[in-house]
Amino acid sequence: MDVPIFSGAENARAYTIQRTTKETDITLSLCLDGGEVSVSTGIGFFDHMLTALAYYAGFGLELSALGDLHVDGHHTVEDVGIVLGQALTAALGSRKGIRRYGSALVPMDEALCRTVLDLSNRPYLVFDAPMPQPMLGGYDSCLTVEFMRALAVNGGITLHQKCEYGDNAHHITEALFKSLGLALKEAVRVEGDAVVSTKGAL
Structural domains in the chain plus CATH codes: 2-187 (3.30.230.40)
Instruction: List pLDDT tens digits, range 85-119.
Output: 999 999 999 999 999 999 999 999 999 999 999 99
How far apart CA 90 and CA 140 sit, in angstroms, is 29
Please give the pLDDT value at position 60: 97
pTM score: 0.93
How far apart CA 53 and CA 11 sit, in angstroms, is 23
Is the predicted pLDDT of residue 1 greater than 50, yes or no?
Answer: no
Taking alpha carbons only, the member of 147, 171, 172 closest to residue 162 is 172
Which one has a higher pLDDT value, 179 or 196?
Answer: 179
Query: Do residues 17 and 2 lie in contact, with contact meaning Cβ atoms separated by under 8 Å?
Result: yes
Residues whose CB falls within 8 Å of the CB of residue 1, separated by 6 or more in sequence, listed in order? 17, 18
N- to C-terminal Cα distance for the chain?
25
How far apart CA 29 and CA 5 sit, in angstroms, is 7
Share above pLDDT 90 across residues of the chain, in percent, rounded to a whole number? 89
Is the predicted pLDDT of residue 140 greater than 90, yes or no?
Answer: yes
Please give the pLDDT value at position 71: 95
Please give the pLDDT value at position 5: 43
Residue type, 169: A
How far apart CA 34 and CA 14 sit, in angstroms, is 9
Is the predicted pLDDT of residue 8 greater than 80, yes or no?
Answer: no
Please give the pLDDT value at position 11: 57
Please give the pLDDT value at position 3: 43
Is the predicted pLDDT of residue 38 greater than 50, yes or no?
Answer: yes
* Whole-number average pLDDT of the chain: 93
Tell me which of 34-38, 50-54, 140-144, 193-197 is least confident. 193-197
Residue type, 170: H
